[in-house]
Amino acid sequence: MNENEYLNKIIQGDALSILKTLPDSIVDVGVTSPPYNKGENKKGWLVTNVKYSGATDKLPENIYQAQQIDVLNEIFRITKPGGSFFYNHKIRWERGEMFHPIDWLRKTKWIIRQEIIWDRMIAANIRGWRFWQVEERIYWLYKPKGKNLIGEELKPKHAFFSSIWRFPPERENPHPAPFPIELPARVIFSIMDGRKGVVIDPYCGSGTTLVAAKILGHAFIGIEISDEYIKYAEKRIKKYDLEVRIVEEETAKHIVIKTFKERKEKGEFTGRYGPRDLENSKKQKKPTLFDYIAKNDKS
């Protein structure tokens, strides 16, 4: 395939088959949320309400995991050395057995750089078998450049975010399982910073990642099996200006007033109590309720 056949397009078909047709080392960063293998032959709110129009989501778990490994390894091949992929998934249970994304991620070629918790604050499946699971996971996967297994540091304005990302689920979108646009926007803006490049989402659904990439000035590659979602995503990409404000609200959060180095040089609090910080923090300590009682207790 040449560039004109895959850049700034959504290619319709099965993710693994399409990925196999793409050249090596063309992608800078990717973000995706694959089908989760919910098992549509089973009961439960999620199973009846979250159904895709062009695909079923009920493979035997070992086959599902093997396919995800193949897809992730193909994405590894088409990613540039030093590139990253962000893989959104969740912990699932089937008849008491836990399936954790790390089970198959460790079997791929990627370096697992970080596990981020996506705190959605709410989820549809409220049953009492376990405490209410309102979180999902986002894995930052890294393709090493030469012998460097660690990669570059994030700029302070991006690294300032914690490993818990709090975004409520998307509600306006007709797709049954979209993620909010702030999520791919945070990933792409943090990883690419000022650089321009190519962003991929191999299960692009309603095109959320692609819209974020376009707004942030990158080329994109989308893959999706459903004709219905592709049509919707294409309309969304054309009307990307409607979502510029939400993406700008996310990028505006990427600020640091002073870097770690600047605070250290000025002898200010750096997040670790050294002797000088302790002294300063004691000086500034506000009286507590116990101080008040101790002072006023005359008995």
Q: Which residues bind ligand SAM (CB under 6 A)?
A: 14-15, 33, 35, 52, 54-55, 175, 177-179, 203, 205-206, 208, 223-226, 229
Q: Can you name the residues that pair with 141 across neighbouring β-strands?
A: 85, 112
Residue located via tokens 């459903």: 226
Identity of the residue, 28 or 182, whose beta carbon is nearer to ligand SAM in the bound complex: 182
Q: How far apart are CA 124 and CA 33, in angstroms?
A: 18
Identity of the residue, 228 or 277, whose beta carbon is nearer to ligand SAM in the bound complex: 228
Query: At its nearest, how many Å lie between ligand SAM and the CB of residue 201?
Result: 7
Please give the residue whose beta carbon sits closest to ligand SAM in the complex: 205
Query: At its nearest, how many Å lie between ligand SAM and the CB of residue 184?
Result: 8
Q: How far apart are CA 16 and CA 67, in angstroms?
A: 8
Burial of 88 (0-12, 13-18, 19+ CB in 10 A): buried
Q: How far apart are CA 260 and CA 266, in angstroms?
A: 10
Identity of the residue, 139 or 151, whose beta carbon is nearer to ligand SAM in the bound complex: 139
Identity of the residue, 135 or 277, whose beta carbon is nearer to ligand SAM in the bound complex: 135
Query: At its nearest, how many Å lie between ligand SAM and the CB of residue 231?
Result: 12
Identity of the residue, 151 or 205, whose beta carbon is nearer to ligand SAM in the bound complex: 205
For residues 1 and 23, the answer to whether their CB atoms sit within 8 Å is yes
Residue located via tokens 């999902």: 136
Query: At its nearest, how many Å lie between ligand SAM and the CB of residue 113?
Result: 21
Query: At its nearest, how many Å lie between ligand SAM and the CB of residue 236?
Result: 9
For residues 24 and 44, the answer to whether their CB atoms sit within 8 Å is no
